[in-house]
Structure 1
Amino acid sequence: MRRIAVDIGGTFTDCFVSWDSRFVQTKALTSHHNLALGFNDALDQSCEILNVDRRELLQAVDSVRYATTLGTNALIERRGPKVGLLITSGFDSTIPISRGRGYGDGLPDEKARDLSRARRPDPIVPIARIRTVKQRMNYRGEVLMDLDEQDVRNKLKELVDAGVQAIVVNMINSVENPEHELRIQEIFEEEFPSSMLGAIPMVLSHQVVGRKGEYVRTSSAIIDAFLHSAMYFAMNALEQNLRENGYDRPMLLVHNSGGMAQLNSTDALKTLHSGPVAGIHAAGQLALQGDVQNIVCGDMGGTSFDIGLITEGGTKHYDFSPVVDRWRVTLPMVHLVTLGAGGGSIASYDPIFDTVRIGPESAGSDPGPACYDRGGMNPTVSDADLILGYLDPENYAKGAIPLNKRRSYQALEDICDEMDIDEVDAALLIKSMADSEMAAGLVRELNGGGYQACDFVFLAYGGNGPLHCCGIADKAGIRRILAPPYSSVFSACGGAGLDQMHIHEKNVSLGFYNKHTRSLYNQYDAFNALVADLEEKGRQDLLRQGFKDEDIQYVLELDMRYGIQKMEISIALDNRRLSKPGEVLAAIEQMNDDFGKRYGKEIVSPESGVWVTTIRVVSRVDLGTVTFDDLAPPAQRIAPPTPVAHRECHFQAADGAVATPIYGIEALQPGVQIDGPAIVNPGETTYLVEPGWTYVAAAQGAVWFLRNTPSDE
């Protein structure tokens, strides 16, 4: 297997190269003005390790896969075009009202509970750029009012005159019948051909998502249109860079659904959070292959801390109506929670509570933390780690970024003056607050799913995951931590193991058990026709990308709920067609079992009716994955190697500086056991073994951190 996977983050660009039986991990600072520069820098480091030329490497690999937070950052910073909206007459307030409760979407829990004081987000499409057109279809897709084409032409001219740079079209019930949306697109091309205006993208809502729900469908299409230009130009620049270096295959983009597709088959909306999702995919593979059950993922990079869950059997959790920034959208996305706590998160004084606040602002890669000595003036979590002695100023990022401790001390001066403490105490406080925020996020996510932290393994990865994992786990009540193989670029590693995949779905309302008539669903032909239509859409997507019919695999999923409850659960059916009552009963029984495991058996209530609300078909081609060995802690332990140095470090659990042994790459030999405090720095990342923890090296460079249990517990 020869392939390249890249995760472009807010601070670092991570590169993972699979070259036959060798796996190479490298990092470079993200070059936001031209993403190709950071990619080339990281790739050249891999080429040097493999002793091959960049062009030779790119010509020999079977694929290049990109995961990126470019869209996420553009949305946060509101960097995008002026978007206009065409919507059915009478529905022009759909987005401004945002269902009322939408004011609380994306807010912290304590603010979301007080909707009366919640502030709506600054709109991507203000009211002045919303236009309505005369037409109407009912919920079955039957035309009640023909499209007024002259009205469409007038409204398009108004939007163009207003200076819009992208147009979203949402006709009510267009998922049932897209005829009017498609005709509007034709009219737009007639009135404003590309030769006149250039490329003004028009996004049709039914092509972005296949679900009903006018608000979430409209907001999904608006975000897709808002990100389209930024993604189009950035990704085309990356693809052009590949062409110039001899790579002639289609570039692949990682999707937040846990799959990937070619650039020309990717909506901008599907790239949001794609980097962290790739890491969760790798965690799922690790759980299955490495025999590690019940994992809570913690990806701590330079900008954020991303949390995901992998439960027994390698099962990933999905959101089907996730919140993106401040807007609820509707698309299948691997569930994750993002906190503004990374190595580059800025620490500031909080006068209300007389303490420090961490993030969500980040120093990013330019200028970066103060210790990078690139012009950054604000104190960050990485500056605190350097002052506490955890980071090696001469060997950070394999020596590519020399650190300046003096700059870190200077950056902390304001906090020290406000709180009347010295720099070491300020750094300890920053680390404690950062660890506490991340631990609270882990616990909140686990408790929300009905789980307990003590029953899970904390999978700590990202550039700063193994550095902070012990402090996070201590505060979360977790006793077992695994820093996986290739931990510093684990999300990029996940991208190397993804399948090419497309998901198509359709809203339905099918009573698999109707309590009023006490009957089972029996419209098998209608059900099978819907499934066949969704399979054909996925088939065409993959055939267009060069795959063969026999390579395509399909999975049928149903979103189901009980008649008296709003909670839905997704199940995958072994058979993709229905032909007899026993198959309907098997689906109901599977739902009962999965629902009971997730929410509790006491609220399983099929007697209230069982309804299917969405039919979903996952079409995929298996392209192979990165394999993981059995990663259990070795039973046979060996003594640690001779330390390469000692450094004075500061810990919450110790008074004053502690002479801490520093170990090199020899400490990654399977079976090596080291009692904390200790630091292991093989070059790619830093493993911090805090007091009370034991370090145990496992296969493939994986590392376990095991909490020492006091004798009285």
Structure 2
Amino acid sequence: MKRISVDIGGTFTDCFFAWDDKYVEAKALTTHHNLAQGFNEALDLACRRAELDRDDVLSQVDSVRYATTLGTNALIERKGPRVGAIVTHGFEDTIPLSRGRGYGEGLDPSMQQNLPAAERPEPLVHRSLIRSVQERVNSAGEIVVPLVEQNVRTMVRELVDAGAQALVVSLVNATENPTHELRIMEIIQEEYPEHQLGAIPVLLGHQVSGRKGEYVRATSTIVDGFLHGIMFHAMSQLANNLRDSGYDKPMLIIHNSGGMAQMNSTDALQTIHSGPVAGVSAAEHLSESSGIGNIITTDMGGTSFDIGLVPAGGVKHYDFQPTIDRWLVSVPMIHLETLGAGGGSIASYDRIHHSVRLGPESAGSDPGPACYDRGGLRPTVTDADLLLGYLDPDNYANGFIKLNRKRAVFAVEEQLCDELDLDVIDVAKVIKRSVDEQMAIGIAKELRVRGYLPEDFTMLAYGGNGPLHACGIADQAGIRKILAPPFSSVFSACGAGNMKQLHIHERGVHVVLYNATTRGLYDSYDEFNDIVAALEARGAEDLRRQGVGDGAIEHRLEMDLRYGNQLVTTAVAFDINRIHGVGDVLHLIRTFSDIYSKRYGEGSAAPEAGIRVQTIRVASYVNGETVEFDSLHHDGERTLPTPVGHRDVHFVAHPRAITTAIYDADALSHHHVIPGPAIVTTENTTYLVEPGWRLEPSPQGAVWFLKD
């Protein structure tokens, strides 16, 4: 296996490089003005560490996988084209009204409780760029009002004349019968042939989302259209950069559904949060190969803190209608909870509570934290970590970034010391305690809302700052076991290297597996099987377009089910793809009941209320080679390694500095045990072992933090 995987975050670009049995990790600062530059720097460093020539590597690797936050940043900054929308006549105001309360989507809970004071987001489609066409399809897919084609031609011309740079078509009930949307596409091509329309993208709602729900499907298509041009040009720039270096294969893009695909089979919407999702996928692979049970993933980078859930048994948690920025969309996305807390999160004074407020604003990589000495003037979490003695100013990021302690002191004094009436060290402790508490609350909430107890989970700590804050977070969350996985500082990039080529297609349905009123079982087998077959055909077509042979394609059936009129739906993966009789229906019901009971407790299943299917989903994928993880445990004797030095370190729970042993990467041998307090500094991250914890390394670089 020869593979390059890259995860570009808000602060660092992470690279994981697999060359046969050699695994190499590298990091570089993200270059937002040209993402290819940061990619090249990280790859160059990985090649130097592997003692290989860069051009030779790119000419021989089997794939380059790429996860990006470009789409997320473009939404936040509203950097996109003027989007025009075509809707069914009478539904012109559905998008701007956004379900009446849609302007609360994406706000924190405190603001959602005070919607009259909330600010509406700047619309991605202005009301002046929405046009309606005369047509109507009912919920059964029957055409009630035929499409008036002259009306369509008029509306398309008006949108183009008004300056629309992307066109979105989202008609009522198009998921049941897309005839009118497809015909509008043909009319646009007739009116504006490719040589005239140029690069203006035209997106159809039923192709972006197969679920019912007119507003959410329209929003999904609009977000996709808004990001299409940006993602296309950025990805093309990176692909050209690779081609100039001798890489002649298609570049693979990570999807937030947990798979990947070539550029010609990727929607811009699918790239949102793709980096953190790659980390969750890596955790899932680690759980399956090691059997360590329930995992809560925590990815702390420079800009954000991402929480994912991987229960034992591999049950996926999807967001059925995730909120991206301020928009509710309909796309099958692996569930993530993202907090605006990372190493670069800016600490400011909260006058109302007379305390420190952290984030969501981040210093990013340019100018970065004050201690980076690149012009940053505001204190961050990284500045606090440096002042408390956790970071080695001469050996941060493998020595590529020299930290300036005086700059960190100046930033904290100027912004916070006088306001809080505390000295520099005490303010740094407040910052450390606050960020750990904020992240612990997010973890506990994520677990308890879904019926889990924190003490039943192993916390997976990765990202550049994960092992540094892991003990403080776990102490406050009530977790007693932490695992910094192999390649923890670039774990999401490692996960990108393990992903399958995968496409997910779904369709909203109304299928009643068990009718509580008639006490009857579902018996429309052909109708169900036809839907599954159509979804499989779409997935197979996507993969064939990328050069995959039919014999390598596999399909997995998943459905979103609920009992009776419950609001909560549960995603269930099945081991059969067709139903041919009562036995198969009962098997589906039994599988749903077992998974529901494991998730919510024995006796919680309620089949007597009826069992309904809301969405049928098919994942079409290709299995491939994966990075193999060694054993995570060592049962032999352990000894205390010799420290390379000592320094005074400040801990939140202790009033005075503690003389703390300092170790280098050589201490991370599975023959060693390191009691806290201690610090282990490596090329890519820092392991902080707080008092009351001990560190036990495992093979392949995995490290356990265990509560004494």
TM-score range, shorter chain: over 0.9
CA contact (8 A) 2:387 2:428 kept: yes
Per the TM alignment, residue 122 of structure 1 is displaced from its structure 2 partner at its CA by: 2.1
1:408 is matched with: 408
Per the TM alignment, residue 157 of structure 1 is displaced from its structure 2 partner at its CA by: 1.9
The whole-number CA distance in structure 2 between the counterparts of 1:533 and 1:160 is: 34
Amino acid at match of 1:227: L
Matching of residue 316 in structure 1 with residue 309 in structure 2: no
Q: Secondary structure at the match of 2:460?
A: strand
2:344 is matched with: 344
The whole-number CA distance in structure 2 between the counterparts of 1:103 and 1:607 is: 38
2:247 is matched with: 247
Amino acid at match of 2:71: G
| More displaced 10-residue stretch of structure 1: 20-29 or 558-567 | 558-567
Amino acid at match of 2:450: G
Listed as ranges, the gaps of 5+ residues in structure 1 are 709-713
The whole-number CA distance in structure 2 between the counterparts of 1:574 and 1:313 is: 14
The whole-number CA distance in structure 2 between the counterparts of 1:167 and 1:671 is: 61
| More displaced 10-residue stretch of structure 1: 321-330 or 114-123 | 114-123
The whole-number CA distance in structure 1 between the counterparts of 2:139 and 2:565 is: 23
Listed as ranges, the gaps of 5+ residues in structure 2 are none
2:654 is matched with: 654
1:69 is matched with: 69
Per the TM alignment, residue 140 of structure 1 is displaced from its structure 2 partner at its CA by: 2.0
How big is each residue's C-alpha offset from its partner over 1:410-448, in whole Å with a ceiling of 9 and x where there is no partner? 111221121121111111111111111111100110111
CA contact (8 A) 1:637 1:673 kept: no
2:627 is matched with: 626
1:677 is matched with: 677
The whole-number CA distance in structure 1 between the counterparts of 2:259 and 2:177 is: 28
| More displaced 10-residue stretch of structure 1: 653-662 or 399-408 | 653-662
2:82 is matched with: 82
CA contact (8 A) 1:36 1:237 kept: yes
Per the TM alignment, residue 546 of structure 1 is displaced from its structure 2 partner at its CA by: 0.6
Matching of residue 606 in structure 1 with residue 607 in structure 2: yes
The whole-number CA distance in structure 2 between the counterparts of 1:264 and 1:87 is: 27
Give 1:584-599 correspondences, 5 Å limit.
584-599=585-600
The whole-number CA distance in structure 1 between the counterparts of 2:169 and 2:477 is: 46
Query: What TM-score, normalized to structure 1?
Result: 0.97
Matching of residue 224 in structure 1 with residue 219 in structure 2: no
2:47 is matched with: 47
1:57 is matched with: 57
The whole-number CA distance in structure 2 between the counterparts of 1:516 and 1:639 is: 67
The whole-number CA distance in structure 2 between the counterparts of 1:52 and 1:700 is: 22
Q: Secondary structure at the match of 2:647?
A: strand
Matching of residue 399 in structure 1 with residue 399 in structure 2: yes
The whole-number CA distance in structure 2 between the counterparts of 1:609 and 1:443 is: 32
Per the TM alignment, residue 559 of structure 1 is displaced from its structure 2 partner at its CA by: 1.5
CA contact (8 A) 1:285 1:314 kept: no
Per the TM alignment, residue 575 of structure 1 is displaced from its structure 2 partner at its CA by: 1.7
Per the TM alignment, residue 197 of structure 1 is displaced from its structure 2 partner at its CA by: 4.2
Give 1:103-252 correspondences, 5 Å limit.
103-252=103-252
The whole-number CA distance in structure 1 between the counterparts of 2:19 and 2:412 is: 44
Per the TM alignment, residue 612 of structure 1 is displaced from its structure 2 partner at its CA by: 1.5
1:288 is matched with: 288
Q: Secondary structure at the match of 2:510?
A: strand
Per the TM alignment, residue 18 of structure 1 is displaced from its structure 2 partner at its CA by: 0.4
Per the TM alignment, residue 675 of structure 1 is displaced from its structure 2 partner at its CA by: 1.1
Q: Secondary structure at the match of 1:224?
A: helix
1:452 is matched with: 453
Matching of residue 565 in structure 1 with residue 572 in structure 2: no
| More displaced 10-residue stretch of structure 1: 607-616 or 331-340 | 607-616
Per the TM alignment, residue 613 of structure 1 is displaced from its structure 2 partner at its CA by: 1.5
Q: Secondary structure at the match of 2:636?
A: coil
Per the TM alignment, residue 601 of structure 1 is displaced from its structure 2 partner at its CA by: 4.0
Q: Secondary structure at the match of 2:410?
A: helix
The whole-number CA distance in structure 2 between the counterparts of 1:109 and 1:635 is: 46
Matching of residue 11 in structure 1 with residue 11 in structure 2: yes
| More displaced 10-residue stretch of structure 1: 456-465 or 664-673 | 664-673
1:268 is matched with: 268
Per the TM alignment, residue 117 of structure 1 is displaced from its structure 2 partner at its CA by: 4.3
The whole-number CA distance in structure 2 between the counterparts of 1:186 and 1:699 is: 59
Per the TM alignment, residue 119 of structure 1 is displaced from its structure 2 partner at its CA by: 3.6
Per the TM alignment, residue 116 of structure 1 is displaced from its structure 2 partner at its CA by: 4.7
CA contact (8 A) 1:283 1:310 kept: yes
The whole-number CA distance in structure 2 between the counterparts of 1:409 and 1:572 is: 53
The whole-number CA distance in structure 1 between the counterparts of 2:513 and 2:547 is: 38
The size of the alignment, in residue pairs, is: 707
Q: Secondary structure at the match of 2:131?
A: strand
Per the TM alignment, residue 230 of structure 1 is displaced from its structure 2 partner at its CA by: 1.3
CA contact (8 A) 2:641 2:673 kept: no
Per the TM alignment, residue 602 of structure 1 is displaced from its structure 2 partner at its CA by: 4.2
2:555 is matched with: 554
2:578 is matched with: 577
| More displaced 10-residue stretch of structure 1: 255-264 or 134-143 | 134-143
The whole-number CA distance in structure 2 between the counterparts of 1:640 and 1:230 is: 53
| More displaced 10-residue stretch of structure 1: 594-603 or 437-446 | 594-603
Amino acid at match of 2:423: D
CA contact (8 A) 2:462 2:488 kept: yes
The whole-number CA distance in structure 1 between the counterparts of 2:301 and 2:333 is: 21
The whole-number CA distance in structure 2 between the counterparts of 1:412 and 1:199 is: 49
2:688 is matched with: 688
CA contact (8 A) 1:299 1:460 kept: yes
The whole-number CA distance in structure 2 between the counterparts of 1:117 and 1:362 is: 25
The whole-number CA distance in structure 1 between the counterparts of 2:193 and 2:503 is: 31
| More displaced 10-residue stretch of structure 1: 152-161 or 447-456 | 152-161
2:279 is matched with: 279
Amino acid at match of 2:598: K
1:501 is matched with: 502
Per the TM alignment, residue 161 of structure 1 is displaced from its structure 2 partner at its CA by: 2.1
2:429 is matched with: 428
CA contact (8 A) 1:370 1:380 kept: yes
CA contact (8 A) 1:556 1:616 kept: yes
Amino acid at match of 2:86: L
The whole-number CA distance in structure 2 between the counterparts of 1:102 and 1:450 is: 28
Per the TM alignment, residue 495 of structure 1 is displaced from its structure 2 partner at its CA by: 0.3
Per the TM alignment, residue 611 of structure 1 is displaced from its structure 2 partner at its CA by: 1.5
Per the TM alignment, residue 680 of structure 1 is displaced from its structure 2 partner at its CA by: 0.3
1:711 is matched with: none
Amino acid at match of 1:501: L
The whole-number CA distance in structure 2 between the counterparts of 1:194 and 1:426 is: 60
Q: Secondary structure at the match of 1:412?
A: helix
How big is each residue's C-alpha offset from its partner over 1:336-364, in whole Å with a ceiling of 9 and x where there is no partner? 10000000111111111111110000111
1:373 is matched with: 373
| More displaced 10-residue stretch of structure 1: 692-701 or 15-24 | 692-701
The whole-number CA distance in structure 2 between the counterparts of 1:25 and 1:579 is: 50
Per the TM alignment, residue 465 of structure 1 is displaced from its structure 2 partner at its CA by: 0.2
Q: Secondary structure at the match of 1:315?
A: coil
Q: CA RMSD in A?
A: 1.3
Amino acid at match of 2:166: A
Amino acid at match of 2:189: E
1:465 is matched with: 466
CA contact (8 A) 1:635 1:671 kept: no
Distance 1:130 1:408, change over 3 A: same
The whole-number CA distance in structure 2 between the counterparts of 1:522 and 1:553 is: 26
Amino acid at match of 1:465: G
Per the TM alignment, residue 629 of structure 1 is displaced from its structure 2 partner at its CA by: 1.8
Per the TM alignment, residue 77 of structure 1 is displaced from its structure 2 partner at its CA by: 1.6
The whole-number CA distance in structure 1 between the counterparts of 2:196 and 2:582 is: 59
| More displaced 10-residue stretch of structure 1: 222-231 or 565-574 | 565-574
Q: Secondary structure at the match of 2:461?
A: strand
Distance 1:382 1:637, change over 3 A: farther
Q: Secondary structure at the match of 2:498?
A: coil
Amino acid at match of 1:474: D
The whole-number CA distance in structure 2 between the counterparts of 1:143 and 1:21 is: 59
The whole-number CA distance in structure 2 between the counterparts of 1:126 and 1:212 is: 24
CA contact (8 A) 2:432 2:652 kept: no
Per the TM alignment, residue 393 of structure 1 is displaced from its structure 2 partner at its CA by: 0.9
2:382 is matched with: 382
**Percent of aligned pairs with the same amino acid:** 58
CA contact (8 A) 2:112 2:118 kept: yes
The whole-number CA distance in structure 2 between the counterparts of 1:9 and 1:265 is: 23
CA contact (8 A) 2:532 2:618 kept: yes
Query: What TM-score, normalized to structure 2?
Result: 0.98
Amino acid at match of 1:121: P
